[in-house]
Amino acid sequence: MRIAIAGGGPGGLYLAALMKQLDPAHEITVWERNAPDDTFGFGVVFSDETLGSIEGADTVIHDEMARRFARWTDIDIDVNGHSFTVGGQGFAAMSRKDLLRLLQQRVADLGVTVHYETDAPDADELRATHDLVVAADGVNSRIRTKYADTFAPALDHRANKYIWLGTDLVFEAFQFFVKQTEWGTMQIHGYPYSADGSTFIVEMHEDVWRRAGFDATEGETLPPGTSDSHAVEKIKEIFAAELAGHDVLTNNSKWLNFTTVRNQHWHDRNVVLLGDAAHTAHFSIGSGTKLAMEDALALAACLHEHPTLAAALQAYETERKPVVESTQRAAQASLEWFENIGMYAGQDPAQFCFNLLTRSRRITFENLKERDSEFAHRIESAFAATAGSTQSVPAMFQPVDIGPLRLKNRIIVSPMDMYSATDGVADDFHLVHLGSKALGGAGLVMTEMVCVSPEARITLGCTGLWNDEQRDAYRRLTDFVHTRSTAKVGVQLGHSGRKGSTRLMWDGMDQPLPEGNWEVIGPSALPYAPGCHVPREATRTDLDQVKADFIAAAERAVAAGFDLVEVHAAHGYLLSSFLSPIANKRTDEYGGDLSHRLRFPLEVFDAVRAVVPGRIPVTVRISATDWAPDGNTEHDAVEIARAFIEHGAAAIDVSSGQVTGEEKPAYGRSYQTPFADRIRQTVAAGVKVIAVGAISSYDDVNSILLAGRADLCALGRTHLYDPQWTLHAAAEQDYRGAAAAWPIQFQAGSRRPPTARTDKIPPRLALLRQQADENVHLRWTPRNDQAVLRNAQAVPRNAQAIPRNDRAAEA
């Protein structure tokens, strides 16, 4: 093949080296606009997995890299004068300049032609004269831009400001400095890359950046290679204590805004994207160099394995794109966390530390417990203390109060519509459905949305509380829960609004009934989606009737024996649609800005709160974002939550979306938790916040709670999969106690069934050695070009420790 590579960075050079080794007959040409010794940045970090792949593909490059590596396992976090060390992570880094030099030497040795200080020819010319054109030309890729209609790039420019620096202070580990300044929160991401220096990235919100005066050079255009000296001097002053007299190094260092690059397609005929041209991920999660070299490994393998170029490029995209997108989701969570780091200024330092470590959701409490059990125990104990408990047990099993209601644990069975009632009456199905979840150990079991009138139903199968027969049916259910379990049971009251009069979910969700329709109302005469009912704009008389229906239903809920009442103001139903500017276009006092759109939902909430006794908390579920242009955002959600709290809400149940059929949610694990987190940190002092949405493991639950992102977690489909999920989670964590007490009839099954032979004798001395190794942290303390080990408990952070024996030195 004749292969043209635009871009002589690590990704492009590594691909050239791999392809030349796979077939020396390949004619490979690389164009690089910079000189060989020009590079920006300081160090690059690699994972053990990536290094294993590099070793398998090219031992020469791997061995040269390994010879230069700084290695360590610790993360040091300094926050407002409090220092923490967490071990067991595993990092390897090296100088970016050294990496480029060895890659340049490698391709030269292999006979690859590289044109330095030369722009690549026009892409049309290259694709006409070469079998393959590789766009490895960076985040501002000219080739990607030229064929933008095909690749469909999306560039997300973020708000935080950061500057890439170095320092001759050699960190011993990955280092986070988080500093509260007079201008706001600033943070440093740092790590060692050699015996002589460390990468030193300063990041802050743009508002903080401006208040601190870093915008003084904003209007200047600094030539390539020139650094922002004003910024450097100010950073030296602000972080003088952290630098401890060491110098700040520059290399084309100037303020930047991170841009996340995504492409819908990665190849077009004989042109393929690689590295930053295809994707970027925030530096707080991964190295762009690492991702680019992983791309090169995959592309070379696919080209070698498949008989045609088309098949190879499709296989490359199929293999790499999901992996990169997963990394980008984690990176997005991480960069958003750092954009909002000021929210956590008041957190307990230990909790802040755990919050930082788990920000991307890739590291969880169980991960940390395996890597550094002492630190994990410290976090769990601190959470127990804040919960008023003397027992250090899994966070999910700490008791919690929602207003006057005490729950035995922090697990809620989320409301889930079952569409299985007749004339709104809950029957044996609902008794078994919710009763089994109560027996399964959850602290609070919520009904599906219970409709306040026949016209308030979503479907003909929805339950209601508009008559006494329905009240009595629910009384049977609450009596069972209270008699047979230690769970509490809550009711969610709602009105379907413009999403009513539709088919059962399995017959066509949101599709109008073919017959037997009833008139639906909404804040405005706008359908939920094309093909849905066009609602009649609600009149004052309609609103008065809806409010009266909520009052009557709330009174029946109290009589039915419910422990908690939740007002449903989410998911595009009537109250939610009043809140959303997409659905609410009214020109009266109930439309317009958010304060007016809140009026009717608050009137309903006030009416419910007024008739529900004080011993029963009233909560509200909201959609934190509409996931659509011109809709509510997480910032609106803060104000919505604030308003309901001011009106007496005992908890905010934070969901999202389902307000318009045109929504585009960013689904992912625990994807709605950041909304709950924002509300909890911003406005929910003393009021509980419930996280919900794609939370499925006890590890995720504990991680959310320990990080302070929510007070409780609501799980829906997880409980459909396993009605005894909470009890099983207790067994998995070896927890036994009142927070997860098995019904006496089930206690014989309260231990995990054996799944393998149990007569195996463990190697006891190996266990002792493993236990000892868990207490040892590897830190980068260069002396004769190797790291030394220290015992984290016995040696101060900046002290050096002599390895106790040859085994430790070898490790």
Average pLDDT of 129-133? 98
Asked if pLDDT for residue 805 goes beyond 50, the answer is: no
Asked if pLDDT for residue 728 goes beyond 80, the answer is: yes
Cβ(351)–Cβ(195) below 8 Å: no
Tokens of 315: 């296989």
Asked if pLDDT for residue 800 goes beyond 80, the answer is: no
Average pLDDT of 167-193? 96
Please give the torsion angle defined by the CA atoms of residues 595, 597, 603 and 609, in that order, rounded to the nearest 10 degrees: -80
What's the pLDDT band for 770 if we cut at 50, 70, 90? low
What's the pLDDT band for 798 if we cut at 50, 70, 90? very low
Pick the closest to residue 64 from 92, 36, 103, 38 (CA basis): 103
Three-class DSSP category at 123: helix
Rg (CA), the chain: 30
Asked if pLDDT for residue 769 goes beyond 60, the answer is: no
pLDDT (tens digit per residue) in 507-523: 999 999 998 899 999 99
Residue 708 and residue 345: Cα distance in Å, rounded? 12
Query: Which residues have a Cβ under 8 Å from the Cβ of 288 and sit 6 or more positions away?
Result: 275, 276, 280, 281
Pick the closest to residue 4 from 162, 99, 115, 109 (CA basis): 115
pLDDT (tens digit per residue) in 593-637: 999 999 999 999 999 999 999 999 999 999 999 999 999 999 999
What pLDDT score does 765 carry? 62
pLDDT (tens digit per residue) in 652-682: 999 999 999 999 998 888 999 999 999 999 9
DSSP 422: B
Asked if pLDDT for residue 780 goes beyond 50, the answer is: yes
Would you give the distance in Å from CA 78 to the centre of its chain? 23
The residues annotated as belonging to the active site are 573
Cβ(605)–Cβ(646) below 8 Å: no
Asked if pLDDT for residue 755 goes beyond 90, the answer is: no
Look at the block and give the residue holding tokens 């926050």: 79
Asked if pLDDT for residue 787 goes beyond 70, the answer is: no
CB atoms within 10 A of CB 315: 17
pLDDT (tens digit per residue) in 258-267: 999 999 999 9
Average pLDDT of 435-460? 98
pTM of the model: 0.90
C-alpha distances in angstroms, 419 versus 75, 408, 478, 531, 747? 50, 30, 19, 21, 33
- Looking at per-residue pLDDT, the higher value among 791 and 452 belongs to 452
Cβ(495)–Cβ(457) below 8 Å: no
What's the pLDDT band for 776 if we cut at 50, 70, 90? low
Asked if pLDDT for residue 811 goes beyond 70, the answer is: no
Asked if pLDDT for residue 774 goes beyond 70, the answer is: no
What pLDDT score does 515 carry? 87
DSSP 502: B
Average pLDDT of 764-769? 53
Residue 187 and residue 168: Cα distance in Å, rounded? 19
153 beta partners = 263
What pLDDT score does 810 carry? 30
The chain-wide mean pLDDT, for the chain, equals 92
